[in-house]
């Protein structure tokens, strides 16, 4: 545990050093050593990632655009997932000007499956703003990037400015938080304002003024590949000698060795915080867990449980005699969750305790897109599909209706925000991962049971079933 009293350090010769400075800060000589070791390590060990291939581009605006796209995609998303999306994006829209000409529909289609869809929309809005208001020239500092670009926060602005422009400004993301909290044993809730203020202050202080791009990328690389949340590779860390969390592990081993009478090495000084009450240390009611080691840091507040929601979904399919199927999609509102994406007709189940199917297919179609079915129309129950968004645990109660295509009057069922798509078109459309799960469940259900609506039987025309509200 970190002690909390000011103490003078005994050198063993009867003399003492000056009072210990804050353990949550770096001394000047530590900053210099940190920079040199981290930059050297990054230059020798950096991963080959597609966005880094653009950093040698002499066009500063193109460099900034390439970094901007990568940083937005990497928010809340793993590198392995982003790589292929990034390559496709840059192939389709290699420049800021190319992106500015795109439609939101195209951007949503490209973003499909990546999640947090507002990120793609803001990238488009930002590109259009830069082209229209700044003549295609990206803002040149972290401060101006933060001020002018929609969806760009303090971290993203700092990343673009330091990596693309060489501005000596710090950055703080999840990886950097983990590295700094372990380096300076910051054990308070990492989302608290005092901790956030300290982390940003540290990031600005230690960034290498001569190599800001390599330093900041090195911080993120270190957190992603070595100083990981679980099973960190401390032995391969280039700055392990500066890490106080690692020192606490060594100190604990030394103390346990003393109890067994097997230590002959040098005395390891106590790691102490000089403050009587510190907003950065582990709370008094929380102890340092010997088994966790450096993983005691950082600490986060308990995650708020996702709220439970249910949606009734109807997969409406029209089938040709040759077996080709088309599916009816409607477009979501342009604001809110999954704004502008396409989905199967869906209606929220207001009574969360309802254990039934929630809504009939007639109710789903009528409420979601203004269509009605005759009561005699048959449907089949596909089952429940679950999907977890960042703050919602969504359960989709899925039903299906299959009808013959030759009896469909498109004029009766088509609307501006609805369309029929084939399976291939669905796979490339701007639909969410949740809807892809729904479609997969529908296909699996179809393999078990062909359909309750058999086109070969005497069935009334669909034009009699569908009526505009």
Answer whether residue 335 shows pLDDT above 90.
Answer: no
Residue 415's pLDDT is 65
Answer whether residue 466 shows pLDDT above 70.
Answer: no
Find all residues with CB under 8 Å of 1, minimum gap 6, and list them: 282, 287, 288
Percent of the chain clearing pLDDT 70 (strictly above):
83
Question: Range with the lowest mean pLDDT among 8-17, 46-55, 314-323, 381-390?
Answer: 8-17
Residue 121's pLDDT is 93
Q: Give the tens place of pLDDT for each residue, 222-275.
A: 999 999 999 999 999 999 999 999 999 988 887 776 555 555 555 555 677 877
342/328 Cα distance (integer angstroms) = 10
392/332 Cα distance (integer angstroms) = 17
Give CB contacts under 8 A, 24+ apart, made by 208-212.
208/35, 208/38, 208/39, 208/168, 209/168, 211/35, 211/39, 212/162, 212/163, 212/166, 212/167, 212/168, 212/169
Strand 380-388 to 325-331 pairing: unpaired
Work out the pLDDT band at 461, boundaries 50, 70, 90: very low
Residue 357's pLDDT is 61
- How many alpha carbons fall within 13 Å on the CB side of residue 2? 31
Answer whether residue 452 shows pLDDT above 70.
Answer: no
101 or 449: which leads in pLDDT: 101
Range list of H helices, 135-287: 142-148, 154-165, 174-183, 193-206, 212-225, 244-260
Percent of the chain clearing pLDDT 90 (strictly above):
58
Question: Range with the lowest mean pLDDT among 18-32, 383-397, 424-438, 447-461?
Answer: 447-461
Among candidate residues 18, 30, 71, 363, the one labeled active-site is 71
Residue 36's pLDDT is 98
Residue 469's pLDDT is 46
Do residues 343 and 431 touch, judged by C-beta distance below 8 A?
A: yes
Vertex 450: Cα angle to 446 and 453 (nearest 5): 115
39 or 268: which leads in pLDDT: 39
Dihedral (Cα; 183, 185, 190, 193), 10-degree rounding: -100
What's the token pair of residue 407? 């009896």
Answer whether residue 19 shows pLDDT above 50.
Answer: no
> Does residue 88 sit in helix, strand or coil?
helix
Q: Give the tens place of pLDDT for each residue, 71-86.
A: 999 998 999 999 999 9
Whether 406 is a known active-site residue: answer no
Q: How many CB atoms lie within 10 A of CB 378?
A: 15
DSSP, res 391: S
Answer whether residue 108 shows pLDDT above 60.
Answer: yes
Find all residues with CB under 8 Å of 267, minimum gap 6, and list them: 12, 254
Task: Please tell me whether the peptide bond between 298 and the residue prior to it is cis, using omega within 30 degrees of 0.
Answer: yes
Q: Give the tens place of pLDDT for each residue, 309-318.
A: 999 999 998 8
Across 163-182, average pLDDT: 97
The total number of residues shown for the chain amounts to 469
Across 365-387, average pLDDT: 80
292/270 Cα distance (integer angstroms) = 19
Residue 59's pLDDT is 96
What's the token pair of residue 293? 């080691």
Distance of CA 273 to the CA centre of its chain: 34
The strand pairing partners of 347, in sequence order, are: 312
What's the token pair of residue 317? 């399919």
Do residues 101 and 94 touch, judged by C-beta distance below 8 A?
A: no
Answer whether residue 176 shows pLDDT above 80.
Answer: yes
What's the token pair of residue 326? 């088309």
By CB neighbour count within 10 A (0-12 exposed, 13-18 middle, 19+ buried), where does 107 fall? buried
Helix or strand run (H / E) with residue 453: none
193/185 Cα distance (integer angstroms) = 17
Across 288-303, average pLDDT: 86
385/311 Cα distance (integer angstroms) = 10
Residue 38's pLDDT is 98
Across 447-457, average pLDDT: 50
Question: Range with the lowest mean pLDDT among 7-21, 62-76, 395-409?
Answer: 7-21
Do residues 209 and 168 touch, judged by C-beta distance below 8 A?
A: yes
Nearest C-alpha neighbor of 209 from the set 45, 35, 26: 35
Phi-psi group of 150: left, alpha or beta (phi > 0 → left; psi -120 to 50 → alpha; rest → beta): beta
Which sign does the torsion angle of CA 217, 211, 187, 196 carry?
negative
What's the token pair of residue 248? 């606490």
> Does residue 231 sit in helix, strand or coil?
coil
Residue 320's pLDDT is 77
Query: What are the distances in angstroms from CA 368 to CA 348, 359, 392?
Result: 10, 12, 21
């Amino acid at each position: 545990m970190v002690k909390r009293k000011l103490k003078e350090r005994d050198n063993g010769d009867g003399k003492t050093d000056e009072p210990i400075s804050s353990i949550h800060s770096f001394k000047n000589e530590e900053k210099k050593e940190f920079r040199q070791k981290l930059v050297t390590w990054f230059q020798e060990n950096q991963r080959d990632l597609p966005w880094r291939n653009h950093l040698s581009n002499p066009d500063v605006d193109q460099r900034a655009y390439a970094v901007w796209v990568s940083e937005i995609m990497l928010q809340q998303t793993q590198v392995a997932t982003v790589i292929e999306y990034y390559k496709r994006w840059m192939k389709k829209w290699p420049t800021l000007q190319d992106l500015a000409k795109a439609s939101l529909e195209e951007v949503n289609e490209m973003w499909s499956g990546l999640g947090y869809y507002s990120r793609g929309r803001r990238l488009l809005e930002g590109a259009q703003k830069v082209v229209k208001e700044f003549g295609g020239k990206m803002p040149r500092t972290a401060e101006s990037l933060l001020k002018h670009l929609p969806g760009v926060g303090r971290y993203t602005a700092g990343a673009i400015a330091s990596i693309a422009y060489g501005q000596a400004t710090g950055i703080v993301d999840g990886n950097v938080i983990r590295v700094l909290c372990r380096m300076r044993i910051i054990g308070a809730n990492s989302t608290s304002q005092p901790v956030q203020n300290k982390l940003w202050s540290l990031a600005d202080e230690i960034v290498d003024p001569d190599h800001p791009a390599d330093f900041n990328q090195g911080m993120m690389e270190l957190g992603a590949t070595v100083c990981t949340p679980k099973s960190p590779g401390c032995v391969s860390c280039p700055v392990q000698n500066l890490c106080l969390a690692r020192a606490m592990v060594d100190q604990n081993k030394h103390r346990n060795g003393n109890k067994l009478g097997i230590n002959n090495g040098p005395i390891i000084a106590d790691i102490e915080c000089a403050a009587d009450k510190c907003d950065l240390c582990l709370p008094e009611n929380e102890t340092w867990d010997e088994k966790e080691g450096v993983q005691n840091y950082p600490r986060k507040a308990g995650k708020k449980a996702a709220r439970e929601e249910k949606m009734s979904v109807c997969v409406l399919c029209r089938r040709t005699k040759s077996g080709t199927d088309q599916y009816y999609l409607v477009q979501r509102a342009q604001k809110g969750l999954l704004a502008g994406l396409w989905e199967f007709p869906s209606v929220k189940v207001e009574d969360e305790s309802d254990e039934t199917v929630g809504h009939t297919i007639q109710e789903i179609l009528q409420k979601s897109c203004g269509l009605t079915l005759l009561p005699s129309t048959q449907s089949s129950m596909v089952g429940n599909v679950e999907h977890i968004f960042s703050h919602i645990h969504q359960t989709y109660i899925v039903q299906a209706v299959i009808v013959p295509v030759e009896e469909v009057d498109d004029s009766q069922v088509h609307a501006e925000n609805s369309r029929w798509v084939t399976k291939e078109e669905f796979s490339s459309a701007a639909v969410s991962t949740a809807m892809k799960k729904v479609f997969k469940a529908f296909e699996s259900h179809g393999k078990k049971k062909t359909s309750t609506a058999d086109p070969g039987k005497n069935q009334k025309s669909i034009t009699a079933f569908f009526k505009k509200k």
